[in-house]
């Protein structure tokens, strides 16, 4: 039990490393929570600081989703404990202990978690994101449709009940964190990225 708690707390501490805030500091862009959409994530860093900064942020947040799951599984965690490790990583990103508990929306970190836990599901969801973004150029819409698609997909693939429960919780939290985006999408005020 103690080792399980170590996994879960460790995962939360790793999830709390808000790449966007660190990249913003390192590249002199300021705190992404103070500009653009106010979200510390790759999309907002793309708005504020361009592609290189965004790519760094995306990689950091994605890898952060992968590492705790891979390490915990390698050390013997499975089933509900592994799902708890994944959730703790994700909650670290949303509510980072080092940054006043004001974190991001969890899309890249959830993507890393999915790729590590269920590569087929991860790649399918990533495919949905890429197609929607390529067509619509709106990151939040791509994230919302990709996240929602994970629910039927996880039921279609024969996943364990712990993984199904994890995916449902992650999707609900992603939708919740995008509530202002959803409102903007409904009002037609969510601005697309220009093709470049
Ligand atoms: O991953 C976050 C994205 O879906 C929306 O970001 O900055 O447009 O609110 P943003």
Give per-residue pLDDT as tens, 14-39: 999 999 999 999 999 999 999 999 99
Whole-number Å distance, alpha carbon 3 to ligand 1 midpoint, is 35
Q: Is the pLDDT assigned to residue 196 strictly greater than 80?
A: no
pLDDT at 158: 83
Any atom of ligand 1 within 6 Å of the Cβ of 93: no
Write out pLDDT tens, residues 126-153.
999 999 999 999 999 999 999 999 999 9
Ligand 1, atom 7: closest residue by C-alpha: 44
Atom nearest to 38 CA in ligand 1: 7
- 149 touches ligand 1 (CB under 6 Å): no
Instruction: Name the pTM for this structure.
Output: 0.96
Burial 146-165 (b: 16+ CB within 10 A, else e): bbebbeebbeeeebbebbee
Given the CA of residue 143, which atom of ligand 1 is nearest to it? 4
pLDDT of residue 195: 81
User: 75-126, pLDDT tens digit by residue?
Assistant: 999 999 999 999 999 999 999 999 999 999 999 999 999 999 999 999 999 9
Report the pLDDT value the prediction gives residue 174, as an integer from 0 to 100.
Answer: 98
Ligand 1 pocket, 41 CB below 6 A?
yes
Is there an atom of ligand 1 within 6 Å of 57 CB?
no
79 CA to middle of ligand 1, Å?
A: 30
176's tokens: 């919740």
ipTM rounded to 2 decimals: 0.96
| pLDDT digit string, tens, across residues 36-75 | 999 999 999 999 999 999 999 999 999 999 999 999 999 9
Q: Whose CA is nearest to atom 9 of ligand 1?
A: 37
Closest ligand 1 atom, CA of 140?
Answer: 4
| Cβ count near 126 (within 10 Å) | 15
Q: Determine if ligand 1 sits within 6 Å of the CB of residue 37.
A: yes
């Amino acid at each position: 039990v103690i080792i399980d708690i170590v996994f879960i707390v460790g995962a939360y501490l790793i999830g709390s490393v808000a790449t966007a805030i660190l990249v913003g500091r390192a590249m002199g862009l300021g705190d992404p929570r103070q500009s653009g959409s106010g979200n510390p994530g790759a999309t907002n860093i793309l708005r504020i600081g361009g592609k290189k900064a965004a790519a760094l942020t995306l990689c950091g947040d994605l890898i952060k989703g992968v590492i705790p799951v891979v390490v915990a599984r390698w050390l013997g965690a499975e089933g509900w404990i592994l799902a708890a490790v994944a959730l703790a990583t994700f909650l670290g990103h949303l509510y980072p202990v080092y940054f006043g508990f004001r974190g991001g929306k969890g899309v890249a970190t959830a993507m890393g978690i999915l790729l590590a836990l269920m590569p087929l599901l991860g790649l399918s969801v990533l495919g949905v994101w890429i197609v929607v973004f390529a067509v619509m150029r709106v990151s939040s819409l791509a994230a919302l449709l990709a996240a929602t698609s994970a629910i039927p997909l996880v039921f279609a693939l024969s996943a364990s009940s712990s993984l199904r429960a994890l995916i449902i919780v992650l999707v609900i939290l992603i939708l919740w964190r995008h509530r202002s985006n959803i409102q903007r999408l409904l009002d037609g005020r969510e601005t697309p990225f220009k093709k470049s």
